[in-house]
Every structure is written in structure tokens, then in C-alpha cells.
Structure 1
Amino acid sequence: MQPNPAVFTLLLLVALAFFAVSLYRRLGLVALGRPGYTFRGVGAAVREMLLYAFVQKRVVRKLFGLNHLVIFWACISLVLVNVEFLVSGMVPSLRLSLLPDAVYLPVRFVSDVMAALTLVAIAFALVRRTLFPPYPEARTFESYAILLLIAVHMIAYIGVSGAEIALGHERGAAAMPVSSRFAAVLAGYPEMHVRATFGFYWWLHAAALFAFITVLIPFTKHLHVFTAIANCFLRRDGKPNTQPPERFEPNETFGAGQVDRLSWKDLFDGFACTKCGRCQNVCPAAATGKPLNPRQVVNDIKVNLLANGALLKRGGAPALPLIGDGGTGSVAADAIWSCTSCGACMEACPVFIEHLPKLVGMRRHLVEMEAKFPEELLNLFENMEQRSNPWGIAPSERTKWCSQLDVKPFEAGKTEYLLYVGCAGSFDSRSRQVTVALAQILDRAGVSWGILGKDEKCCGDSLRRLGNEYVFDRMARENVALFRERGVTKVITPCPHCFTTLKNDYRQYGIELEVVHHSELIRTLQAEGRLRLDRQVSELGEIIFHDSCYLGRHNDVYDAPREVIAAVTGAAPVEFDRAGGESFCCGAGGGRMWMEEQLGSRINRARVEEALRKNPDTVCVACPYCMTMFEDGLKDRQAGQTRVRDIAEVVAEGMRPRP
């Protein structure tokens, strides 16, 4: 009954050789990428791999992820019997049946049940992909081929096992309920028919395995069976909330104008992508009709690498541009500039692909090498270079907000905290009100604080995210030198963009600051009993809280602002349908604050519409950019009855007599 071992051995060796050569040719191209990766350490890496690759923590966030978990673990549980199949095909006497019953029978039971569960899961997956696809382009031949081949594999396994039971060659029949049912069907047929059935399913099983080895794993997204696990192991040390610095030397090339200018990890991400569409579904640019699709960007980078890899290895020029017209294998400039750097794509990705660094790398090339960027950014860049703020206002105007207050300059050894006001808090008329409210809170709580006044400069957040790394580098070095000169070690800021830049980006310049967002400090002051209010705030009505991307996803600050609101008003804020780690961007991050939305619909309007569905009286924010975007969106919507307040303003209300 056993097929010819010599024939099978030859076919298997050819398939394995083809598999090895194919993987080497494809994955070997990753070495073209630039260095730039911080390893977490073996212990942490293994822990992350087990949690996210094997337990699939991010996959099962969505209900249908449980279906994928079943398929994944079915494949894992069948590894042993598939190895047995391949080995016994070459040496028929080497079978799992050599094991004692205490080991052999549980293996057969688990394999049998998991094969049946996989067929059920595949049926659900086919129905879902056909009727309720995870994203519009999900109905592909590749996806259906993978699902159907897995199903064929499981059917073949049950067929082989059932035929062996019917022939009396399987002592584990009692532990194999599914295969035994098939064996019962075969029991009424002549032995010759059963042997023929065995041979058919055996070769069907072999064909399915050979198809996986030679085609599906090396040349389709099913390669992620291996690369996704590796990507979880290689997860970045810390959150991807900063960008790698550049070295500004003569004759240096900046940014990622071609695929080998990306990091090797960026290139490996392309092979790890499962094309699940989670990044696409949470992207605010994609949701509002803009040309950016994070999933497609990752795929285009992979396609570009495959198209240009051999040429680049030989030192030649790429045949397919990385930044082009948006055709397959090229990323359109409009897509690159549509990113708000909100990080939703990276938070949603189950295998930790990092989309943002790739887009920033391409922005750097467009800005620093080609001077090709949206026209409105020219004024921003000039204002930053000449007057160190986005508006180009004279630095002497930075202290206008405190003209009616007794605000002291920061003095090393005498002042505990530097209040880093930020450009919005200094120059934007609406955000100045927030700065005044924060100053009053700090004074009420007896906090020792001071400002840099006209010597304060922009932190450079927008410059870095827009790809103007050269000017950011200069400003960051100047700020770091100023902080050291003034003896600054602790910083308070009401702006999440300043917060993340001072806390995370400036570490690359050798300074470790203790940076707190004003919501965190206010919560601490409340908890310590240092901040006592005169009354509980009720006149703001029902409050809904919006998570800033740079405070929440980029820095995991979610609880502090909610706890502050609850303490001041006596009630927890209303939540958006998309809140916390799934919060929808206001549209101002990644430098988009300074750009017009000329493609698709406005992101801030989409978020405002989501807020208004909850009928709030007040939208509470903790970011000056979010403040601007919500107020503009509410004006567009003519929803003047809904007010916008920063968390500091909500607290300051409790310090005033009841109106």
C-alpha cells in the first residue's frame, strides 16, 4: 500500500532544494537594507514571540481572529504528523506508531480533531472573505488558493488516516473520531477499493505539501507562516515613536529614494505582512478617501525590492522607482504626504510592521534630496529656520500669554520644573488660554516652575515627521544645548507633540529629560492632595474625551486625562466608539497641521461627526492641535452648541466661583 519510496524521495529532495533556493533569493534581498535595529534581548524577544505570534494577542482583538487562531494552531499541531508523512514516505518503517500508546494516542487524537476544526474554520474564512471581506481588495486568487489548499491538505490527511483504519493498519483508531467516521464509510467496500482510496489520498496529501513547499510558502503571503513569527521575535525595543537620526556629511544621501535606502527591518516587514488589512481599516487617510493605504505601501516596497534586488546587488540603478506614480511597486507622493503619523496602522498590525518610518524615510528623500514637497510647507520650513516657530512670529512674542501673570523665568537650582509652553501655547490665541489655565493650576498647587521666555524654540516635531531632518537636527541640538546650559532636568508641557519629541527624540542627542504631560502632572497633584478645587464642575455638561495620537498610542498615556476629568466633574467622560488605542486621529499630526486637505474628505470632520453622534455638550482634548481641528470641524458642521475645552481648562473651571 505504500507508494514507491525512491520516487517520493526524489520528488521531496527536488522540492526542498527549490524551496531553499527560492527563500534564499527572496529573503536574501533583505541584506540590501541599511542597518538600524535595537534588539530587545533574547528573553524579551522570545516572550514577545510567544505572546503575539503563538497566542496571537493582537489577532484575537477582533472576534474573527479566533478563526485564524484555530487555523494557526491546527497547522502547528499537524507539524509532527506532516513530518512523519515526509519521513515515512522515504523510509516506510519510520512511523509515529513506534511511540508508546501514552504518547502516540494523544498525538493522533489532537491531529484528528484539529484537522476537522480547520475545515470548519476554512469554511468560515471562505464565507467571510466572499461576503464580508476584511477590506475591498481582499478577494484575491492568492487568498482563495491558500485557503483551499489548506482544506485539501486536511481532507487528504483524514482520507489517509481513515483508509489506514479501514485496512486495520492504524492502532489509534479509537482515538481518531473523525477519521474513524470516514473509515466506517469505507468498511463496506472491497479491500482493493480501500487501498486505491488510500493511494489517492496519500498522493493528494503529498501534492498539497509539495505545493506549499514549492509555491505557496516561497511566493505568496503564506510565507508569513515563518516571517511573521520572526517579526514578532524582532519587535523593536520600545514603541516606534521616534525616527532614526541622519548623519549630515558631504556627499551623503538622505532619506529613502530607492529601496536599499530603507533599513533591513523595513524590507523584512514586507515579507512578514499577512495582508490582513487591519492597518488599512484604521488609517484615517484611507478612511477619508486619500491615496494612502498602509498595507499597499508595505506591499509596494516588497514588490520594488523583488524587481530591483538583483540590479542593486550588482551595483546597478533600480529599474522601478520607489517613489513614483503609485503603480504596483512604487509609492505615490500624494500617498506619502497623506500620512498623519497617528500610528494607528502600527498599533493594529498583529506582526509589528512599522509603516511610519518607511513613509518618513521617503519624505526625507523628497525634502532633502529633491526639494519636492507641498507648496504650503515652504513657509513652514522658512519660518522654522528664521524664527524657530511655525508661524514665523518674532520670538519676543512668546511671552505675550503671561503679560497679566506673575511668571518667573526658569532658574537652575531654584526652579523644579520648566514649563515648555510650545509654539501653539505661545502664539495661537486659543491655545494661549490653555497655557494661562495651566499656569493658574501650577500656582494653585504650589508647583515650582518657570519658563524660558523668548529663548524657547520649537521642539521640531513637525519638521522631523515631515522629513526635514536637517533643520530638525539643528533645532534639536540648539535646544539640548540650551537645556544643559540652564540646568533643565524636569519638563511640563501641554502639547503631546512637544512631549514625545522632548521625551523620546531628544534622547538621540544625549539628554534624558523627565518629561510629563500636563494631564499626568495634574492627576499626580490631585492624588497627592496638593491641588484642591473650590467646586465640582457641572456647567460643561456631558463631556466626551478625545485621545491624542501622540499622547495615547505613541506614549501610552490613556488613564491620566480620564481620571482628571472624573475627579473634577464627578463623572467619567463619555467615550468615542473609537477610543484609547483605537482612537481616530484628528488629522493634524505628521505635519498635516500645516497642510491643506485637498484630497478626499477632511479627517477632522469625520472625527467631529463621530463625536456628535454621542450628543456631548463638551469635547475635551489634551492637545493644541486637536483643539484646533475640533473647533474648525465643529464650525464647519455648524455645531456651535458643542464647545471644545482642554483638560487644563476643565480643571481651571473648578478654581473659579460658580457662574
Structure 2
Amino acid sequence: MQQSLFTALLIASLVLFCFSCYRRLSLVAVGTGEYRFDQPLIRLKEMLVYAIGQKRVVRRPFGLNHGVIFWGFLVLALANAEFLISGVFPGLSFQLLPKTLAGALSFAFDVCSLATLVAVLVAAVRRTVRPPFPEARTFEAYFILGMIALLMTAYFGMHAAEIALGKVPAGATLPVSSALAGLLAAPALAVVLPGLPETFWWLHALVLLGFMNFLPFSKHMHILTAIPNVFLRTLGRPNCQEREQFAEGNRYGANSIDQMSWKDLLDSFSCTECGRCQNVCPAASTGKSLNPRLVVHALKENLLENGRSVTTGRPAALIGSDCGQSAEASLWSCTSCGACMEACPVFIEHLPKVVKMRRHLVQMEAKFPEELLNFFENIEQRSNPWGMAPSERVKWASQIEVPTFEAGKTEYLLFVGCSGAFDARNKQVTVALTKVLDAAGVSYGILGKEEKCCGESVRRLGNEYLFELVAQQSVEQFRSKGVTKVITQCPHCYNTLKNDFRQYGLELEVVHHSELIKELLDAQALQVGTVQELGDVVLHDSCYLGRHNGVYDAPRATVLELTGTPVKELERNRENAFCCGAGGGRMWLEEHEGTPINKNRVQEALAKDPDTICVACPFCMTMFEDGLKDHAGATTQVKDIAEIVALGLKGAAS
């Protein structure tokens, strides 16, 4: 009777589970096409490291506890498979295997069940006492943890009762169950003991089948989608956006689920709602309305609500104030720093989704913050954010002689960038950099008034059409002048010339000035002395130099060589560094919500009591200089890495 009833329940449960998964996962197909199956061996390796190995999960303090639950789930999947099969065919079990192997499996299942139960209890306490984010105390979360705990309890109850009744021998292969068997063998339980194995067996069966069918309807569907989502991740660093094709009748950006890619939609099902992205997001951390977790969650809700109506009608908008939508203000708060993507254990790509929605607002509805109107016009008409005349681009060099780039004669183009050419403070950095290059005998030249804005902020702000025009002009110019190697002092220019321009067929060897300076020092092409006046130095990692392009060590090594002392590290550094607040086009926008991001970062830096804050980005320079104005008594100075090396040149000369 038990066998027949269980077989019927199992078949019904499997059919319902497969149907539920199909109903949900088939919604992913409404997204646009995207190829994510190249380099399968590399993808497999990444999946083993990050999904199975839980590399990103365990690098946070509480992540090990989740790792125990996950690895326990993998091991116990074997035990549960045996349980289901033996429920239909009682003679089939691991006991048919050689005794040594069967014993090893029993031991593994017993110990893993205990480890998982303990980890689940710890997770429940942590979620109650110190949740990852305030909204984490949900019924669903506790229900899932309770079901896992019930599975472990039923497992121990079933085996311990069988040992207590003498049906299974106690011993080292079932250490935990054997210890519990002594409790169940107490005289007070003698009457109920004979029925306990079957009771716990059915408890285990019903909870397992119920848990399986609850998964597709809960956030824990990530158990099914997270591993393939890691396999399908963007290989390398996601530092470039998809290029749009401009033609009459096309739609641009995304304001409905069918305008997102299928991978964007799979991301929404893979979100574990762990809250790591919002905890590291500069906007969310400073009281802005943007929450990267909620952007992904809204996408999932919109997909579930409207996925089946895409082919029959117009799906609901992704941008708005209703359920399943992201607010406009939140989208403009993004600094494109990439911290959310760096923190995500399952490699959800939040930033491209935000940019796609920005593109829709800018290009389809002409809806964007008022400050950007002049910005876009200045880029289009004068090729710089301030609308300055092209002749002004070379005024920074009025007191020095700077060579002009000549094809076939000059090795490097020094791409000064708009900030380096027009901003008063960053002009000083440009001059310092040329002194360093001259001292090292580097063959370089500039384009002077012919240089154009690279368009980096334009692209991150969603004006892809304008970026297309800017990029095509620059690419044509570089090709006509024979530019193959470029030095930049701005990480935003660096990222655009190195990564974005590849989409236009231009392969450049781009080096950031911090990298080149390190190479020159290593080659002893620069003679520098010790710089004493810097005092204690803290280093701020630029998002577009660090997280987006992996350059962390060069500026640190240079400061060490120039001062003889390692930099003081900020609490949030390297891949965990906090944005200055200027990325994603925020350099050209005021902050109307919460606390200014740059003030948050400046306070973090001042907490280290530094004499000097070292940066390697003109945007960071501006944000730190502005942030320090609120600390009238502070004597801390901000220096670019090029300025520090230029001071060392003076030291060597003296």
C-alpha cells in the first residue's frame, strides 16, 4: 500500500514540478537573442569555481554558512535520489554497493545532514538577529529554512528509529543517527518506537516532494538556475555595453521584457536575494532610491506578470512606480561602478539592465535630468562637456612645449581627455604627467585642439546615438593619423578607448598612466628621489581602473617606491572599493537624494588620518577635492599618482 501510494505521489509531483519549471523558464524565451555559449571549457571551469566551489559566496564572513548548506545539498541530493528510487523499488539502494563504499556514503550522508541542520539553524538566527537587509525577514525565507530543517530531522528520526529497533546496525557509518538511537530507545518511547520509522519516512517523503514543488514558485528557484547562470556569465570583465543598430522603425533601449535579452531574464530567476549588491551599491548606501536587488526583482515580477502577454499585446512598462517597475529616479542614481556585479555570487549583470532602461528614456522618450540637456548639446556641438571652444584644449600647455602626434614618428598618443584639458585642477595633473614622460624619454604626442571627447559618459547615460556619432568620428580620426598606442590619465577614457572602441573595429594598445609609470620605474627609465612631504598616503581605487579593468597594483607599487612606505588601505579597497560618485555620467549631475556619495568616501578616507589622498582619475580628483571642502579644518591634500612621481623627479634633481 505504502509503495503504491508513494509511487502515485512521486509521479504526480514530478509531472507538476516539470510543468511548473517549464511554465516559468519558458518565459525567458521572450527576451532578445544573445550568444553565451562560446569557450565552453572556460565556462565550465568558471562554473566549477564560482557555482560549485562558491568562491564569491565564502569570501564574505557569513558566506561559509551558506556554502555548508549548498555543499550539503549537493551531497544529500544523492541520498534523496536513493530515497525516491527505493520508495518505488524497495530493493534498490546503496546497500547493494560494496560494503566499504556503502559505508562511506552512509557516513557522508549522516555527517552532512548534521552540518546542514546546524547551518540552517544558524541562518535562521542570523536572519532574525542581523538580517542581510531589513526586508529579509520574510515568511518564505523562514518557511524554506524550516522545510530543510524538517528534512534533516526526518532523516535522523528515520535512521535512528531503525537502529533503535535493531533493523539497522549501529556503528561508525551512522555516527549521528546512532547517538540519537539511544534517546529513542528510552523506555518512555517503547510504545511509539515501532511506528517511528514509517512516520519519519512519510514526513521525509512529503516534505521532500512539497519542497520540490514549492521551488519554482519561490525565490529559491535560484537553486535550479544559479549554476547555469554562472556558466552563461559574461567572460572577463563586463566593462562594455552592447552596441545598438540604428535604423528606421527600430526601438532603442528597453522598457518591456521583450526588449531585455533572454540572459537578462534568466538573471532575474537566478537572484538569491542575498542583498550583497545593495550593501555595496554607492547609491543604496547613501540613501538613494536605487537598489540593484530591487531592479532585478522588479524585472522578475514584470516577467511573471506579463511574460505570456508579449505575443498577444503590449507588455507593461519596466520603468515606472508600480509593482514590477523601476523608478526613473533610481535609474539615474547609478554610478556604473560595477560593485553590484562584483559582489553577486551568481554573476547577475545589473549595470547593463540599468543602461538599457536609460537608453529607452533618453532615445525613445527624451526624458532625462535637466542638467543633461546642456551636457549632451555641448558634447555634440563642441565635443566637450563644458561647451568650450576646441582651441581651449591646448591652453593647459601654454607654459610648456608639448609635441604633436606624428604618424610613423611618435610611439604614443597622449589622450589628454576633457578633464585633463579643461578642468583647472586636472590641468595640473596633465602638466605633471608630461614632465614624467619627458623625463623618461617617452615618445609621445597630443592631438591638441583636434582631440575629441571619447563619449564615455554619454554612453553610460544612455545616449547611445550620440555616442555612436562620437565614437565613429574618433575611430576615423585615429585610423587616419595612424594611432596604435595610447596613454590616458582618465580611467573612463581608458575603458572607452580600450574596450568600447573595439566594437567599431579599432584595436588600440591603451595604457593608463599609472601602469606606464610603473613600467618606467621598473625599467629604471625614471630617476626619482624619496618624496617626504606626502606623509601618510591613502589610495582610492578608481572603479573604471580597478573593478572594470583590474588595475590595482601599479599605483600602490609606485607610492611605495616614491615614499618608502606602503599606502594606508581604506576599509573598502581594491575590488571592494567604494565609488567616488562620478561614474555613470553622475559627474555631470547633482545629487538630490540622500547623502552625496563623495562625502561618504571622503569621510572614510579621513578616518585613516592621512596627509595625502592618492587618486589616479580626474573624476575622483574632482569629487575628493569637492568633498574636502566640507572639512574646513582638514589639512589632507589630494594628489594624482603623476603628481607624486613629478615631485620625485624634483627630489632626484636636487
TM-score bracket, normalised by the shorter chain, equals over 0.9
> In the alignment, which residue of structure 1 is the partner of 2:136?
138
Residue among 124, 127, 132 paired with 2:125:
127
- Cα distance in 1, alignment partners of residues 60 and 402 from structure 2: 50
Residue among 96, 99, 102 paired with 1:98:
96
Deviation sequence 1:288-320 (CA, Å, 0-9, x none):
1000001111010000000110101x33112x3
> In the alignment, which residue of structure 2 is the partner of 1:557?
551
- Cα distance in 2, alignment partners of residues 253 and 259 from structure 1: 13
State yes or no: 1:249 paired with 2:247: yes
> In the alignment, which residue of structure 2 is the partner of 1:429?
424
- Cα distance in 1, alignment partners of residues 26 and 171 from structure 2: 45
Residue 292 of structure 1 aligns with an amino acid whose one-letter code is: L
8 Å contact kept, 2:540–2:570? yes
State yes or no: 1:526 paired with 2:521: yes
Residue among 147, 150, 166 paired with 1:149:
147
8 Å contact kept, 1:461–1:498? yes
1:173 Cα deviation after fit: 4.3
- Name the SS of the counterpart of 1:572 in structure 2: coil
- Cα distance in 2, alignment partners of residues 425 and 315 from structure 1: 53
- Cα distance in 2, alignment partners of residues 184 and 17 from structure 1: 40
- Cα distance in 2, alignment partners of residues 145 and 388 from structure 1: 57
- Cα distance in 1, alignment partners of residues 161 and 223 from structure 2: 30
State yes or no: 1:199 paired with 2:198: yes
Residue among 72, 75, 78 paired with 1:77:
75
Residue 400 of structure 2 aligns with an amino acid whose one-letter code is: L
- Name the SS of the counterpart of 2:487 in structure 1: strand
Describe the shift of the 1:639–1:604 C-alpha distance in structure 2 as closer, same or farther (beyond 3 A).
farther
1:573 Cα deviation after fit: 1.1
Residue 456 of structure 1 aligns with an amino acid whose one-letter code is: E
Residue 265 of structure 2 aligns with an amino acid whose one-letter code is: L
State yes or no: 1:600 paired with 2:594: yes
- Cα distance in 1, alignment partners of residues 289 and 172 from structure 2: 57
- Cα distance in 2, alignment partners of residues 35 and 95 from structure 1: 44
- Cα distance in 1, alignment partners of residues 395 and 170 from structure 2: 84
State yes or no: 1:449 paired with 2:447: no
1:223 Cα deviation after fit: 1.2
> In the alignment, which residue of structure 2 is the partner of 1:369?
364
> In the alignment, which residue of structure 2 is the partner of 1:287?
285
1:202-601 alignment, distance < 5 Å: 202-215=201-214, 217-312=215-310, 314-318=311-315, 320-325=316-321, 327-533=322-528, 535-601=529-595
1:171 Cα deviation after fit: 4.6
Residue 488 of structure 2 aligns with an amino acid whose one-letter code is: T
8 Å contact kept, 2:290–2:334? yes
1:149-188 alignment, distance < 5 Å: 149-171=147-169, 173-188=171-186
RMSD of the TM alignment (CA)?
A: 1.3
1:518 Cα deviation after fit: 0.1
- Cα distance in 2, alignment partners of residues 437 and 155 from structure 1: 68
Residue among 41, 52, 58 paired with 1:43:
41
> In the alignment, which residue of structure 2 is the partner of 1:636?
630
- Name the SS of the counterpart of 1:323 in structure 2: coil
> In the alignment, which residue of structure 1 is the partner of 2:84?
86
Residue 580 of structure 1 aligns with an amino acid whose one-letter code is: R
8 Å contact kept, 1:105–1:172? no
- Cα distance in 1, alignment partners of residues 443 and 435 from structure 2: 12
Bigger CA drift: 372-381 or 202-211?
A: 202-211
Bigger CA drift: 589-598 or 83-92?
A: 83-92
Bigger CA drift: 76-85 or 464-473?
A: 76-85
Identity %: 59
Deviation sequence 1:157-192 (CA, Å, 0-9, x none):
111111222233325744101111222223345876
- Cα distance in 1, alignment partners of residues 548 and 72 from structure 2: 35
Deviation sequence 1:606-627 (CA, Å, 0-9, x none):
0011011111111110000000
8 Å contact kept, 1:39–1:237? no
> In the alignment, which residue of structure 1 is the partner of 2:28?
30
* 5+ residue gaps, structure 1: none
- Cα distance in 2, alignment partners of residues 174 and 237 from structure 1: 45
- Cα distance in 2, alignment partners of residues 172 and 524 from structure 1: 66
Residue 467 of structure 1 aligns with an amino acid whose one-letter code is: G
1:6 Cα deviation after fit: 1.1
Residue 540 of structure 1 aligns with an amino acid whose one-letter code is: L
Deviation sequence 1:529-577 (CA, Å, 0-9, x none):
10112x2101121111100000000000000001111111111111101
Residue 474 of structure 2 aligns with an amino acid whose one-letter code is: N
Residue among 611, 615, 628 paired with 2:609:
615
Describe the shift of the 1:639–1:232 C-alpha distance in structure 2 as closer, same or farther (beyond 3 A).
farther
8 Å contact kept, 1:565–1:572? yes
8 Å contact kept, 1:242–1:505? yes
Residue 199 of structure 2 aligns with an amino acid whose one-letter code is: F
- Name the SS of the counterpart of 2:511 in structure 1: strand
1:40 Cα deviation after fit: 4.4
Residue 313 of structure 2 aligns with an amino acid whose one-letter code is: G
Residue among 3, 6, 14 paired with 1:5:
3
1:5 Cα deviation after fit: 1.1
8 Å contact kept, 1:40–1:235? no
- Cα distance in 2, alignment partners of residues 37 and 141 from structure 1: 38
8 Å contact kept, 2:170–2:178? no
Q: Which runs of 4+ in 1 moved over 3 A?
A: 37-40, 171-174, 188-192
Deviation sequence 1:238-281 (CA, Å, 0-9, x none):
11111000000001000001111011111100111100000010
Residue 338 of structure 1 aligns with an amino acid whose one-letter code is: S
8 Å contact kept, 1:494–1:517? yes
Aligned residue pairs total 652
- Name the SS of the counterpart of 2:386 in structure 1: coil
- Cα distance in 1, alignment partners of residues 398 and 34 from structure 2: 47
8 Å contact kept, 1:542–1:573? yes
- Cα distance in 1, alignment partners of residues 415 and 170 from structure 2: 72
- Name the SS of the counterpart of 2:84 in structure 1: helix
1:221 Cα deviation after fit: 1.6
8 Å contact kept, 1:108–1:172? no
- Name the SS of the counterpart of 1:656 in structure 2: helix
- Cα distance in 1, alignment partners of residues 501 and 168 from structure 2: 66
Residue 260 of structure 2 aligns with an amino acid whose one-letter code is: L
Residue 356 of structure 1 aligns with an amino acid whose one-letter code is: L
TM-score normalised by L of structure 1: 0.97
Residue 182 of structure 2 aligns with an amino acid whose one-letter code is: A
1:497 Cα deviation after fit: 0.1
- Name the SS of the counterpart of 1:432 in structure 2: helix
* 5+ residue gaps, structure 2: none
- Cα distance in 2, alignment partners of residues 151 and 142 from structure 1: 14
TM-score normalised by L of structure 2: 0.98
- Name the SS of the counterpart of 2:273 in structure 1: coil
- Cα distance in 1, alignment partners of residues 167 and 509 from structure 2: 70
- Cα distance in 2, alignment partners of residues 405 and 285 from structure 1: 41
